[in-house]
Amino acid sequence: MALEMKVPSPGESITEVEIAEWLVEDGDYVEKDQAIAEVDSDKATLELPAEASGIITLKAEEGDAVAVGEVVCLIDTEAEKPGGSDDKKESKDGASNKEEENKDKAAPKTEEPSKSTTPAQKQDSHAKGSPSPAAKKILDEKGIDKKDVEGSGKDGRITKEDAVQAKASMGSPGKGKRGESKKKMSMLRRKVASRLVSVKNDTAMLTTFNEVDMQPIFNLRKKYKEEFKDKHGVGLGFMSFFTLAVVRALKQFPDVNSMIDGDHQVKFDYQDISIAVSGPKGLMVPVIRNAENLSFRGVEDEVKRLALRARDGKITVDEMTGGTFTITNGGVFGSMLSTPIINPPQSAILGMHNIVERPVAIDGHVEIRPIMYLALSYDHRIIDGKESVGFLVAVKEAIENPEELLMDNDVKRALEL
């Protein structure tokens, strides 16, 4: 009996996925629940487990876009598990020999070129080197001169495919190695690219900056981080301080915790904080739900849980859906300052950066302090300068005075120690 395996729905509103990689070969024996493929949606990469044990027949190629519910492979559930690899190898060799024979039979006979059309005549054709309208548009976008493209169409005309494959000149060849590689972007990466371009085109994005003295946070972590870790099994990091500082600031400036829906502005009375984390498939943005109800321990637990799931490729679409505000930390990669791009449909994002010891004026004296630059990118269509600057100042105040503003002057209770 052949079991048809269909593409399951990865989440609401997703109608198509892409076969990123087959983890088995056609004709392999697979066990039930064995991961047989990785599939990309426009939100995440997921593993496809075998629904039964048996011999698998693949019905889609890597890179194919397949609709949710479409059959991608068959599993012969009545097939017995092979005892050795020699028979399999022999069958593969036999199959390859048959393929070669079929290729030989199917190979078309070469014919002499027609005498009616000579190379000289092709060169004289007015169509040679002329791009089609679609090809001309693509060449113009790439900044490539039509003289640098050899046409493969009739009489040497430059086709759309020629224009797509054309590459801009990289200058005179050097003396070293000049290799290059090319691979198709994953569906997730293509979707991210499309969304980022959309943000730049469809929002009135501005960025405001400030700096924050991290010394108070350093002092608290130095004093309590070991006790915190011993009791809760998780580190006391910077993210919990910034998450709770952002929650406090969002309550003060609700326009920053809103988004546009057509002609309406939607404000939220809860704070779902998206955090940008690096995974094997690139940057992912899981959501800490109802961060306003979490303690320092609760935030650190969630950050660790989501980061591990992203790293292991187990993050789900639901865990990355929603969010009312995003925090991204380029500082872990060494970024000093940047303008983070808004995570649509949200209206603002906070960028954290690296911490550098800098000379600053404290009560009329120059002191060396650990300083971090902060950046808030926001959609100016619904967030005014007053709100954006006020929000960032509120975050700065909370980070520079965490005991009073984030812990109600009771550090032990706030850290659950």
Q: What are the structure tokens assigned to 212, written together?
A: 């924050």
Burial per residue of 54-71, b for 16 or more beta-carbon CB atoms within 10 angstroms, e otherwise: bbbebebeeeeebeeeee
CA atoms of 59 and 63, how far apart (whole Å): 12
> Does the annotation mark 232 as catalytic?
no
Tell me 407's DSSP state: T
Tokens 């659950």 belong to 416
**Pick the catalytic residue: 26, 64, 312, 380?**
380
Exposure on the CB side of residue 225, measured as CA atoms within 13 A: 12
Closest CA to 198 of 207, 209, 190: 190
CB 270 within 8 A of CB 294: no
φ, ψ at 173 (rounded to 5°): -60, 140
Partners of residue 275 on adjacent β-strands? 327
**Pick the catalytic residue: 33, 87, 145, 384?**
384
Element (H, E) at 216: helix 215-232
> Does the annotation mark 384 as catalytic?
yes
CA atoms of 137 and 156, how far apart (whole Å): 18
The letter for the amino acid at 237 is G
For 83-228, strand residue ranges (E) read 205-213
Q: Which residues are catalytic?
A: 380, 384
